[in-house]
Structure 1
Amino acid sequence: MSDLICHPAHPPVLVRSMEARVIGLDQSWLRVRWRILGAGKLVVPAFAGKGRADGLWNTTCFELFLQPPGGQPYVEINLSPSERWNAYDFTARREGMSERPMPREPECTMRKGSDIAIFDAAIPAAGLPDLPLAMGFTAVIEEEGGVRSFWALSHSGEAPDFHDPACFTLALAAPTAS
């Protein structure tokens, strides 16, 4: 489990902490989970059905950044509790954006109680770059009143920038045979 840090320029209302982790990886799926404590005022986008959509980060959205070693290209995957999603390839930091092909749609589920929310996603492994990868978990969290906070493994600037390679602090390796 990795703790995400809220960008200090955009504090949350009630959210106290957020964690993210890989919960499974096999030849079919990469399974990831985000856990939010203090979810009492969390805005959860309405169910919209599966499908690609842009601008998911304008409200509560969970993101994953993946970068092969030794290069500038990387992948951004956006996942919404609405079940909308998108995946993009970048040739360098915020450059050369194009929609990344996916063999099938990711699966997303959101569970929210009075104080805790859990967002699980399964991303088709065939749609990922070859392993190993540098990885960054991020999230945009909207709370009632239009307050948005920006969460990442690390922040290095005065404004939130999930595309900063300094945010890609975890390693994702190929599964080992047991």
Structure 2
Amino acid sequence: MANISIKEIALSCHPATPPFMADTIYVSLCRGNGGALSLRYHVACDLGSLEISSTLPPMRTDELWKTTCFELFARRDNDDAYLEYNFAPSTQWAAYSFSEYRAGMTELMTYRPEINGDASETHFALEVEFILPEQWRDGPLWIGLTAVIAESGDTTSYWALSHPDGKPDFHHRDCFALYLEAPSAA
């Protein structure tokens, strides 16, 4: 199977939630063999302005979106069902399956993702590697790449490839804006 790589696709901030110091967010993605996905979220910012929790044991944790969190949503062509993955700088994570828009949520049984952070005074990056469920590995996917950025001064901004009209809503079909072709034999 051939790898599919996308380097530095930009997320846009929702106009109703301007950031304090975060300038840009870029995401790199690689879809590899056996359902492997590798992501790198890169936030250009004054690191001191970000609210980033300390590293904790890498365990499944709900409500990670309440602070700085990086996310991936995936759905198949002509299917209302979708997956949601949440990755925190603390190395905590969550994964859910939905039967349709914000309905039928269940905890997705999956292997623990590998999460690593990288930072300097001018950026924060989160690298994630995980495996898609077997029935999601071989076909084309519509992907939503998103981020919740919590900064000092009680500022929270919502970033995505595309935003629907109205308030931020990462579950909305408009956010699934990246089409990944099915992996093919090399």
- Give the partner amino acid of 1:77: Y
Shift of residue 173, structure 1, vs aligned partner: 2.8
- Give the partner amino acid of 1:79: F
Aligned pair partner of 2:58 in 50, 66, 73? 50
Corresponding residue of 1:62: 70
Corresponding residue of 2:30: 23
- Give the partner amino acid of 2:141: L
- Work out whether 1:167 is the aligned partner of 2:178: no
Aligned pair partner of 1:137 in 135, 138, 145? 145
Aligned pair partner of 1:74 in 79, 82, 86? 82
1:79-132 per-position Cα deviation (integer Å, ceiling 9, x unaligned): 111111111111111111110110x20001111111111111001234672421
Distance 1:28 1:168, change over 3 A: closer
User: How many residues are treated as equivalent by the alignment?
Assistant: 177
The question of whether the paired residues in 2 share the 8 Å contact of 1:139 and 1:152 is answered with yes
TM-score normalised by length of structure 1: 0.93
Identical aligned pairs, as a percentage?
35
Corresponding residue of 2:4: none
Deviates more, 1:31-40 or 1:54-63: 31-40
The question of whether the paired residues in 2 share the 8 Å contact of 1:101 and 1:127 is answered with no
Distance 2:162 2:31 in 1: 23
After the TM superposition, which residues 90-105 of structure 1 pair with which residues of structure 2 at under 5 Å, given as runs? Answer: 90-102=98-110, 104-105=111-112
Report the 3-state secondary structure (helix = DSSP H, G, I; strand = E; otherwise coil) of the residue aligned with 2:11: strand
Report the 3-state secondary structure (helix = DSSP H, G, I; strand = E; otherwise coil) of the residue aligned with 2:65: helix
Corresponding residue of 2:117: 110
The question of whether the paired residues in 1 share the 8 Å contact of 2:35 and 2:134 is answered with no
TM-score normalised by length of structure 2: 0.89
Distance 1:18 1:175 in 2: 26
1:129-176 per-position Cα deviation (integer Å, ceiling 9, x unaligned): 242110010000011122110000111222100001101011223333
The question of whether the paired residues in 2 share the 8 Å contact of 1:26 and 1:125 is answered with no
Report the 3-state secondary structure (helix = DSSP H, G, I; strand = E; otherwise coil) of the residue aligned with 1:51: coil
Aligned pair partner of 2:163 in 125, 138, 155? 155
Distance 1:99 1:22, change over 3 A: same
